[in-house]
């Protein structure tokens, strides 16, 4: 069974838009890397997840994938703080009691946390997908407008079940 890793931010939940809205409301200087890092490290993740919309029925789609039993599925998410890890795990456990959740410190590549070879990564960020494919994995871009930027692309997670990915 092929490993399937699904990103959280920008794939399951629209946290990126929520964080950008908050960042804009606080007049944060986005060109200041220290201020940005501090912003991300001190976010109230319980609140972020409470006010963030789900993307295209992501939770239901993941359940369909799990029910199909064709992939060994895990959530592979970059994190900036311990609070972010705790809140994302609590959030996901409300829906999935048995899924593996792998937090990746933002400074590390996802390819350093798991074996990418022959595994699938669904991510909205092309940089992560490039690294993934360089490590021998299969990158699939998640994009609402179906802009693949050179990668296979989906805008709903259950579309994975229609692709020729099972090994």
Alpha carbons 115 and 33: distance in angstroms, whole number: 30
Residue 64 CA, distance from chain mean position: 17
pLDDT at 166: 73
Domain residue extents for the chain: 2-14+53-162, 15-51
Nearest CA-CA partner of 6 in 88, 94, 87: 88
Three-point CA angle 69, 112, 91, nearest 5°: 55
Residues 84-126: tens digit of each pLDDT? 999 999 999 999 999 999 999 999 999 999 999 999 999 999 9
Instruction: Report the b/e string of 25-58 with b at 16+ CB within 10 A.
Output: eeeeeeeeeeeeeebeeebebeebbeebeebbeb
pLDDT at 167: 66
In sequence order, the 6+-apart residues with CB closer than 8 A to the CB of 97 are: none
Selected from 3.40.50.1000, 2.40.50.140, 3.40.50.1820, 3.40.50.300, the CATH number assigned to the domain covering 2-14+53-162 reads 3.40.50.1000
Strand order from edge to edge, sheet including 100-105: 100-105, 71-79, 2-6, 120-123, 138-142, 152-154
Secondary structure of residue 68 in the 3-state scheme: helix
Low-confidence residues of the chain, pLDDT below 50? none
């Amino acid at each position: 069974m092929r490993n399937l890793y699904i990103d959280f931010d920008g794939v399951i939940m629209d946290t990126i838009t929520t964080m950008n809205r908050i960042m804009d409301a606080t007049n944060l200087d986005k060109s200041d890397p220290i201020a940005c890092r501090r912003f991300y490290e001190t976010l109230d993740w319980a609140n972020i997840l409470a006010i963030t919309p789900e993307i295209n029925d992501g939770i239901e789609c993941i359940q369909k994938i799990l029910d199909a039993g064709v992939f060994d599925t895990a959530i592979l998410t970059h994190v900036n703080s311990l609070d972010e890890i705790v809140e994302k795990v609590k959030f996901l456990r409300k829906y999935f009691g048995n899924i593996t959740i792998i937090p990746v410190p933002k400074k590390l590549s996802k390819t350093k946390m798991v074996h990418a070879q022959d595994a699938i990564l669904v991510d909205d960020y092309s940089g992560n997908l490039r690294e993934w494919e360089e490590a021998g994995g299969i990158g699939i871009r998640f994009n609402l407008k179906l802009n693949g930027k050179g990668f296979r692309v989906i805008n709903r997670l259950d579309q994975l079940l229609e692709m020729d990915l099972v090994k």
